[in-house]
Amino acid sequence: MQAVSPTATGVAFLARPGRPAVVARTLAELAGPTRGVVELPVRLMWNAERTFDLGDPDQLLWMYENVLRETTRAEDLRALINGRTLRRVWRLLNLPRGVRQAWESRHRGLRAA
C-alpha cells in the first residue's frame, strides 16, 4: 500500500511539527482487525501499556488516535486500522488538526461521517 505523499498533493499536513501525516490512498486498503486485543509497536506507543481491547470503545479510539498521529509508515495503517471502523468512529477521534485535514482532504466522505 502506498500512502499519499504531502508533496504529491502540494500541501503538507503535519501530525506534529516536522512530521507529515500519513494517509492511505483508499479506505478499502485498511484491513486492520475489528476485534480482539492489539499490541502496538513501541514506535507508535511509547507507554508500557501498549495493548488495546478493540471490544472496548474507549480503547479502540485511543489506539486509532495513536496510530493515525504517530505512524510514519503506510504499512501501519493497513495492518492496524480498519476502513469501515475508521469511518464509523471518525468524528469521535481526538486528532491533531493536520491529521484530520490530511485524511479529510483525501477521503472527503470522512467529513460527513
Report the alpha-carbon distance of residue 78 to residue 9 in Å, rounded.
Answer: 21
Report the alpha-carbon distance of residue 111 to residue 34 in Å, rounded.
Answer: 22
Please give the model's pTM, rounded to 2 decimal places. 0.87
What residues contact 28, with CB distance under 8 A and at least 6 apart? 83
Report the alpha-carbon distance of residue 92 to residue 72 in Å, rounded.
Answer: 22
pLDDT in tens, the chain (113 residues): 445 544 444 557 888 778 899 999 999 999 999 999 999 999 999 888 999 999 999 999 999 999 999 999 999 999 999 999 999 999 999 999 999 999 999 999 998 87
